[in-house]
Amino acid sequence: MSAKTLAFVALALAPGLALAKPAPTNPDRTGPDRAGPDRAATTALRQQCGATEDFSAPAPPARLFGNTYYVGTCTVSVLLVTSPQGHVLVDTATEQAVPSILANIKALGFRPEDIRWIVTSHEHFDHVGGLAALVKATGAKVALSAPAAAVIATGKVDPADSQYGVLKDHDFAPAKADRIVASGSVVRVGPLRLTMSATPGHTTGSSSWSWQSCAGKQCRTVSYVDSISALAAPAYRFSDHPEVVARFRRTFAAIAARQCGILVTPHPSVSNLFDRMLGKAPFAGKNDCREYAAMGRKGLDAQLAKEAAK
């Protein structure tokens, strides 16, 4: 069969294809040329942030990919996922960071009051301290895991938390959940679908989120995978809590098995995010989640070895 005949058969079998509009020669502003990380903005962020470790240090916003933007501080991630029907905000950083987060959202050309839902990683002041203030500023609803909701409603760190001893003086404004989510729950706004996975370990309520981020027809998975560091206050021993250790190990296995696409962590430096956005490291590798899980496992094993040596 000649190429010409083949083409004719294909058209006859798929008349819809024949009617499809030709691809535009000049891609619009949402086209693939505008899909990837905004390197100029990330360079500006780097310059402004320097080597600060301040959780609340303001950073300028930068597109991560498609309709997902980094609007957080120099050291704590906050992501804005946008759609014409409204947006989702992922994490809130500290209460002190809220003015800069709102300014970042506006600087990108979006309205804070168009945020419909706020979802979070884990119930520590550096990730949910700004939640109550952002709810007030945006009118958004809040989706939390049940254990996170119980803690965030108090505005105090969970007394059972492995870091209780060092975080107990970091109270934050309490906030309440409008919806309780668990593994497999989906938060929807217009075309947006953010899927939750419970990843307990760092805290009991630890939550990770993944979604498709699109620029025109080009879509990629973004995985916001929660912290998995086994940090302990001086009085806490993981070895006294085998159920916590077992939970952590299940979380490592679940994360290792994922294809995370574009990995983002609640502290951007942990996944080398800004170097990756700048093209100084691979933006998304197929082993990123496996390597991230291995890092967590190594940290927990080191902590257990330290406890055993005492």
Binding-site ranges for Zn ion (CB under 5 A):
126
- Helices and strands (H and E) in the chain: how many: 11, 12
Looking up tokens 């107990």 gives 168
Q: Which residues is 80 bridged to in the sheet?
A: 69, 89
Give me the half-sphere count of Cα atoms (radius 13 Å) on the Cβ side of residue 218: 15
List 124, 158, 226, 288, catalytic entry: 124
- Least distance between Zn ion and beta carbon 263 (Å): 16
Is 122 marked active-site?
yes
- Least distance between Zn ion and beta carbon 155 (Å): 16
Alpha-helical runs (H) found in the chain: 3-13, 15-19, 39-49, 98-107, 125-128, 131-138, 146-152, 164-167, 242-256, 273-277, 288-309
Nearer to Zn ion, 41 or 97 (CB): 97
In the complex, which residue's CB is closest to Zn ion? 126
CA 1 and chain centroid, separation: 51
Nearer to Zn ion, 121 or 197 (CB): 121
Q: What type of residue is 289? A: C
List 114, 170, 267, 275, catalytic entry: 267
Angle at 106 between CA 139 and CA 176, to 5 degrees: 25
Is 202 marked active-site?
yes
Nearer to Zn ion, 126 or 161 (CB): 126
- Least distance between Zn ion and beta carbon 270 (Å): 9
Whole-angstrom CA distances from 7 to 16, 22, 124, 137, 268 are 14, 16, 60, 56, 49
Is 170 marked active-site?
no
List 202, 224, 226, 288, catalytic entry: 202
List 127, 224, 226, 288, catalytic entry: 127
- Least distance between Zn ion and beta carbon 55 (Å): 7
Nearer to Zn ion, 126 or 288 (CB): 126
Which residues are catalytic, by number? 122, 124, 126-127, 202, 236, 267
